[in-house]
Every structure is written in structure tokens, then in C-alpha cells.
Structure 1
Amino acid sequence: MIRTIETVAVVGAGYMGGGIAQSLASVGIRVVIADVSAEATAANYARLLREADEFEAQGLFPEGAAAAVRANLSAADTIEEAVRTVDFIEEAVPEIPAIKQAVYERISKAARTDAIIGTNTSTLPVHTLAPYVSHPERFLTVHFSNPAPFIPGVELVCGAETNPAVIPVIKEMLSRAKRCSAQVADTPGFVLNRLQYVLLKEAATIVEAGIATPRDVDTIVRSTFGFRLPFFGPFAIADMAGLDVYVNGFKTVEDAFGPRMAAPELLKTLVSEGKYGTKNGEGFYGKFTPEQVAQLVAYRNKAYAGMARLMEELGPSVYDDPLMS
């Protein structure tokens, strides 16, 4: 099993795969890209170099990142040429199983048998794709988010046959690229898109019921709980708000909208045990000392004030234009 990833091939060099390639090349990892044809690969390669220059000029990449991309990124004429000698292969082709199957068959025939193979699929379970990969013990999901150069979170998903030893190797590579990763179970949609789809579905239900417009829903989301999400996830937010408060709130919405809005058992169990979150020292995250709560409150206040300043500095987006329908 590979212990350290030094060379990478990204198969599928569009905006998603290209962004992954930029992210890794910019921190000194040697990356080769390949697309559906040599012409498509060459066009994407030129775009990625141009974008890297633009990102650095705009202050979006640190100084020297564009030069690092130029030094470490290369293009191959074929998938086989790209994957032949590398330590890690990231597949980023369209979310169509038949296309992925054809790509995996080509990769499996050409790559080293010890090369780790990742898929950037956002919804397809590993167990539905693993049969197309030779030596499936080295296959897993390594799911970046779009735009890959700027979003740090990566989902890692093992299949039934995945060797757990690949996880620390991938995590170490992601750490060098200043990415944070979380390992989740092999289920459709994983965590990221399952949560995103639920939020969009409920938002659409609200609009369909005439409760608010899409613009007003988005304003509420981004300026309230969405404002918190860059710093804390839903469990941490609930811990700080008070789990008993959440249970009472769920009772109100359950009465209005039925069992689908009932309080989750995990939450009710904690409250029944007298665990209300930071307010009394124990919640989803376990126990808190008074000193930890004070540190958390100070961090939270600083983070939210900093976010407010950032939003003011950035100014409104196109979506904020009242003339946009």
C-alpha cells in the first residue's frame, strides 16, 4: 500500500476535475490531467494555467501559487498515459454510471495495481461503482465540492472492499492541500448532498405554499443560520442554542406540519437525560467546562462579527439586485 502520495492523475479536466488538479498542483504535488480527447485536455490545461494567474492576481491564490501550478501541472494525450505511473488517480467524469464504467476499465488496465483510485462522485455509492475497478480494495470516494480551489471540505467514503489503510494516506495528501476531510458511510448522496437536497426541498415547499418568495427564503438562510454555518455545524449550533429549546420548537412545527417535522430521537434522548447543551455543560459534543463555554462564546462572537465585516467588504452579489427576477 502506498504510504505517501507524490503524483496524481485527474481524469476529467472540466471545472470540477480541473479545480481539483489546481488545488493539488498549487501545493507542490505533481499532477497530470487527461480528458475525453487530447484536444479537450490541451484546452483545459491552458484554461487552468490562465485561471491560476487570474486567481493569484485577484488575491484568491497566495503569492507563488500560479507558478507552482505551472511547475507541477501537466497534460497527457490519453487516460492511459496519465495514470500509468502515478500514486493516486482521481476520476471526475460526469455522473453517468456507463461513462464511469468505461473510464474505470481503462484506468484499471493501465494503472499500477497499488495506485489508489478515487471518484469525485457526489451521489453514487461506492458499492455501485467498485465492480468496475480492478483491485477494489484501493477504491473509494474522494468528493471535493465546487469550486474545488476554494472550498476546503472533502467527503471520504469507503466501500465494503476498501482497505481502511488508504484513508490516512488520502487524508495526509488533503492536509497538504489545506483541505479538511470527513469519512462518511456508503449511502446515496452521502452527507453533503443529502443535507443540501433536504434544505432545497423544504425551501421549495415553503415557496410553493406562498409563505415566502425564493429571494426572501435565501435572505433568511444566508443572514441567519447560514451566517453561522461557516463556523459551526448543526449539532454545535443546537448545543449553543439550547437542546431543550429545540425540543419545544420541534413540538410547534410537528403540530403544524405533522410527524415529518418531529424532534429526532437523538435530541429527545439528550434532553430527557437533562443534557441541554452549553447552557448546563453537556450536549451533542459531550461535556463542557465553564472555561470551554467562555472560550466558545468569545470565538463565536468574534467569528460572527468578522463575517459581518467580510459581507460588508464584499458588498452585494448579483442575486441581491432587486431588478433580477
Structure 2
Amino acid sequence: MIRRVAVVGSGYMGGGIAQVLALAGRDVVLADASAELAATNRERLVREAGAYAERGIFPADAEERVAARLTAAATLEDAVADVDFVEEAVPEILELKHETLRRISAGCRPDTLIGSNTSTISIATLAEAVAGAERFLGVHFSNPATFVPGVEVIPHEGTRPEVVTRVVDLLAESGKVGVPIKDVTGFVLNRLQYALFGEAARLVEEGVATPEAIDLIVRTTFGFRLPFFGPFAIADIAGLDVYEFCYRSLHAAYPDRFTEPAALREKVERADKGVKSGRGFLATSPEKAPDLAAYRDDAYAALSALLRDLGPAPVDY
């Protein structure tokens, strides 16, 4: 079991990760560019935990728990010397990450697991700087790490399988959802996120809609479904034959931007059309359709009520 953790880089992302792990009962040691910065950020994180508790979005005793579990080290080497897991969370600069990972792997125990919170850099590239790279992997939290549940877990080809298992278990014990994926540029989160942004920007450039209108459409239509259903579940519910027709229409108008995925075409050719046929990308049976519809309706009604209670986001358009 991973009991003692170091977080190297105590800023916004690293600090949030440290709070999450401390609240999960782990002893967490912070390191940063200086002892003073690590100590200052440790105090900030304790105060912030108390403020979150007052707002009711952290446990009532969060400040005390974080204060008890979170310490600041004088140096990186002091922080990593006797821990079970190190999470590197320094800025996205390859040379800085390489230097930091060299120091981490030189300063920690040979059995210490090492993760990087990189959002874009290849894990295999980062692994070049790690002594004992079989214990190294990507552990990519999303912003804000304190509240977004999903974490990409990215082994490189040399990562031992048990390292992935132990990190996923740590995340689950911390209230997070660790999702193992392959090491590709952009991973999964950013490839999808930037694909959406790219098409949204093109719509603005073409004069189809304003940024305000596009944000409103996304939030109130397909984006409204996403807390409950991912893209494959949504496609299966709609019907893969419907998706195929829509792709053909889009391809006719925008041949350079929309092409029917081969995986979709193959499913439809086999008559795997989604929920209505009992198999699509997922395997939800038609018998579950009434339960699925009931869940969908309850979920959307609950989200509508929550949004009414929260009111509009303080974004200026």
C-alpha cells in the first residue's frame, strides 16, 4: 500500500494533488524550488482546505486533516528520500522535467514509484531521465485536481504492470478514477478537448456563430449529456446507423474535416447499431432500454435543478 507520498511542485496543480492525498490519509511531503516556497504553499493549502470546508465542499475537519498530514521539505532530496510514491508537478518544460526527474530518481528509494502530471509530453520521453524507468508512468490530474475525479494513468512500454495497478488503487482510495491508457501525444483528454476547440474556433472563423452562442449550445445540448454518458454510450443510444448517416452528410459538406470512422462503418455493416440491436461499441441490451431512459431522464432533471440552484457562471460574454 502507498502510505507516504512526495509532491514535487507545490503550485496550483501540485498543491491540489497534495490536498487530495492528504485527505485520503496519506502523509504528503511538498518540495519546490526553495524551502521557503514549499513552506509558504503548505500554509496556503492548509488555509484553503479550511475555506473549502466552510463552503461545504471539503469535509468539516479538512483543515485539521491537511495540517496534520502535509509537511514541507527543505529540499527535493529531503522530500523524496523515504516515500512510496512521488508525483512530479513542475511546469511543462521538458528540460525542467528531465532535471527534476533525474533528481527524484537519484534521491528516492529504488522501490519508490514515480509519476508525472504532464498533460502533453510523451511519457517515454520523460522516462529517459528516470533511473529505474520501469517504476515510472504518467499520472495526469485535471484542473482543478481537488474536484475533477478522472485521472489519466499512462504507462510507457517499460512500465511494470503492477505499478499501474498500485497507482490506480491509490487514486481510488483518494476518491479519484484512474483510467489506464496508452502513451500517445496528447493522451486522451487533450486530443478530445482540442479537437472540440478546433472545430468551435472554425465555426467562429466562418461566421456561423459567436463564441457566446457556441458555448451556450455546447452547455445546453450534447455537453449536458456528458456528465452521465461518454461519446460511445451516446452514439449507441442514438443508433450507430444514425451516426453513419450524419457522417455521410458532414463528409459531403466538409470532406477534409469529417470522415466516417472505419470502426463505425464496420459496426453498422455487422448490424451492430447500438442499444436497439443489443450491441454497438458497448453491449447494452434492448431489455435495458427502459431503465436507461429512466436513468437519463432522472439525471438530466437533477442536473437542470442543480444548474438552476447554482445560477449562471460568472463568465463575461
Query: TM-score, with normalisation over the residues of structure 1?
Result: 0.95
Q: Does 1:83 align with 2:80?
A: yes
Letter in 2 for 1:250: Y
Give the SS at the match of 1:5: coil
- Percent identity reads 50
Contact 1:27 1:65 in 2 (8 A): no
- Corresponding position of 1:125: 122
Q: Does 1:70 align with 2:67?
A: yes
Contact 1:275 1:281 in 2 (8 A): yes
- Corresponding position of 2:289: 293
Letter in 1 for 2:104: I
Distance 1:232 1:64 in 2: 33
Give the SS at the match of 1:132: coil
Contact 1:125 1:186 in 2 (8 A): yes
Distance 1:124 1:210 in 2: 34
- Corresponding position of 1:107: 104
- Corresponding position of 2:179: 182
Question: How far did 1:294 drift?
Answer: 2.1
Structure 1: 5+ residue stretches without partners? none
Q: How does 1:211-226 map to 2 (within 5 A)?
A: 211-226=208-223
- Corresponding position of 1:246: 243
Letter in 2 for 1:298: A
Question: How far did 1:259 drift?
Answer: 4.2
Q: Does 1:313 align with 2:309?
A: yes
Tell me the number of residue pairs that the alignment of Structure 1 and Structure 2 aligns. Answer: 317
Distance 1:42 1:72 in 2: 14
Residues 246-272 of structure 1, C-alpha deviations (whole Å, 9 max, x = no match): 111111111111143021111111111
Question: How far did 1:298 drift?
Answer: 1.4
Q: Does 1:146 align with 2:143?
A: yes
Distance 2:135 2:247 in 1: 43
Question: How far did 1:273 drift?
Answer: 1.2
Distance 1:175 1:288 in 2: 29
Contact 2:275 2:283 in 1 (8 A): no
Question: How far did 1:77 drift?
Answer: 1.1
Contact 1:26 1:66 in 2 (8 A): no
Letter in 2 for 1:172: D
Match of 2:164 among 163, 167, 177: 167
- Corresponding position of 2:7: 10
Contact 2:276 2:285 in 1 (8 A): no
* Alignment RMSD: 1.0
Residues 114-164 of structure 1, C-alpha deviations (whole Å, 9 max, x = no match): 000000000111111111000000000000001000000000111111111
Structure 2: 5+ residue stretches without partners? none
Distance 1:5 1:294 in 2: 42
Letter in 2 for 1:59: G
Question: How far did 1:66 drift?
Answer: 2.5
Contact 2:9 2:31 in 1 (8 A): yes
- Corresponding position of 2:36: 39
Give the SS at the match of 1:134: coil
Letter in 1 for 2:311: G
